[in-house]
Amino acid sequence: MFEATELNFRDNRVEWAVKALFLLMTLLLILPVLLILGVLLYRGGPVLSWEFLFTQPTNGMTAGGVLPALVGTIWLVVVALLASVPIGVAAAIYLSEYAPQNALTRAINLAIINLAGVPSIVHALFGVGAFVYFFRFGTSILAASLTLAIMTLPVVIVSTLESLRAVPHAFREACWNMGATRWQTIWRVVLPNSISGILTGVILEVSRTAGETAPIMFTGAAMFMPLLPRSVFDQTMALSLHLYTISMNVPDVPEALPYGVALVLIGLILSMNAISIGFRTVLRSRRKW
């Protein structure tokens, strides 16, 4: 016979209290997010319309839509993705699958993690020096996107490393034992089982840069540029900079307009996240262990 003792009851009470406390903290965390969204929707919601999304700004940016900025931001993010994914994933594969696990590798790993903490304005200055002037890309989508790519590389590498490490080591050894080379093992066992995590992480990290202003302000984004970009060598408007401009530098902007732009920006980032999560769900349903 098992009888609940006083001790069991106490354990239960502690269990309950701890759970309630953690739930409270989680709610506290969600609250500001909900408030922000609520305010944005309340103030900016009325501005939103298809016309707002698909027309140019007019009247010195005090009216009209956000099309050039929306398109520009998508360009910036996509080009940044194209640049940072191959480099970041290759570097992570090297660090996780090839590099000897010694002090040097650990130091490099640490350095990469610390790089993620470098402020974006510093990356901006680097981007101006390297891409705008040294490589002579001028102020262009290319220069801005590369700056964004450099900025996100550390997080891209770290998130890829995590996905690679989630593949059990035993799988690799089993494969090596059959005489597979490192690359054969990576190609046939490691990548198929981590690609969903890698892509999701990468898309999440890079799409987050859609909100960055500093790194693109001096490298490729223009305050007003009604024409849509035609190639990566054009300048472009961007939602983040547009928001900054109409909030700070343009007189007589209707109060609702910046909220509308912010809403579009957040909507864009959320939909990119949604795409990457959808992506993961599809790939993960084929997950194999």
Partner 1 sequence: MTAIDTGQHQRSADEGLAGDVKIDVRNLSIGYAGKSALRNVSLEIREHEIFGIIGPANSGKTSFLRALNRMDEFTESMTVDGAIRFNGRDVREWRNAYALRRRIGVVFPLPVGLPMSIYDNVALAPRLSGIRKKQQLDDIVERCLSRAALWDEVRDRLGSLGSLLSGGQQQRLTIARALSQDPELLLLDEFSIAVDPVTTMRIEDVLKELRREITIVLVTNLVQQARRLASRTAFFLMGECVEVNDTEAMFTGTVKDPRTREYVEGRFG
Q: Report the residue number, 21 or 166, with the smaller CB distance to partner 1.
A: 166
**Residue 100 binds partner 1, judged by CB under 8 A:** yes
Helix (H, G, I), strand (E, B) or coil at 82: helix
**Could you tell me which residues come within 8 angstroms of residue 63 by beta carbon, excluding any fewer than 6 positions away?**
57, 254, 257
The Cα 204–Cα 219 span in angstroms is 23
Report the 3 state secondary structure along 239-274. Answer: HHHHHHHHHHCCCCCCCHHHHHHHHHHHHHHHHHHH
The letter for the amino acid at 123 is H
The residues in 102-141 that bind partner 1, with binding defined as CB under 8 A, are: 102
Among 3, 28, 255, 288, binds partner 1 (CB under 8 A): 288
Q: Report the residue number, 63 or 104, with the smaller CB distance to partner 1.
A: 104
Q: Which residue has the tokens 């859609």?
A: 210
**Residue 49 binds partner 1, judged by CB under 8 A:** no
Q: Report the residue number, 193 or 235, with the smaller CB distance to partner 1.
A: 193
Whole-number minimum distance, CB 181 to partner 1, in Å? 5
Whole-number minimum distance, CB 89 to partner 1, in Å? 20
Q: Report the residue number, 176 or 224, with the smaller CB distance to partner 1.
A: 176
The Cα 23–Cα 270 span in angstroms is 24
Q: Report the residue number, 172 or 208, with the smaller CB distance to partner 1.
A: 172
Whole-number minimum distance, CB 52 to partner 1, in Å? 47
* Binding string, residues 201-240; x marks residues near partner 1 by CB under 8 A: ----------------------------------------
Within 13 Å and on the Cβ side, how many CA atoms surround 168? 6
Whole-number minimum distance, CB 175 to partner 1, in Å? 7
The Cα 86–Cα 83 span in angstroms is 7
Whole-number minimum distance, CB 170 to partner 1, in Å? 5
Whole-number minimum distance, CB 288 to partner 1, in Å? 3
Q: Identify whether the C-beta of residue 39 lies closer than 8 Å to the C-beta of residue 108.
A: no
Residue 221 φ then ψ, to 5°: -95, 140
Whole-number minimum distance, CB 222 to partner 1, in Å? 49
Within 13 Å and on the Cβ side, how many CA atoms surround 258? 16
**Residue 12 binds partner 1, judged by CB under 8 A:** no
Q: Report the residue number, 16 or 187, with the smaller CB distance to partner 1.
A: 187
**Could you tell me which residues come within 8 angstroms of residue 161 by beta carbon, excluding any fewer than 6 positions away?**
92, 95, 96, 109
The residues in 165-204 that bind partner 1, with binding defined as CB under 8 A, are: 170-171, 173-181, 184, 188-189, 192-193
Q: Which residues of 150-162 are buried (b: 16+ CB within 10 A; e: fewer)?
A: bbbbbbbbbbbbe
Binding site for partner 1 (CB under 8 A): 100-102, 170-171, 173-181, 184, 188-189, 192-193, 288-289
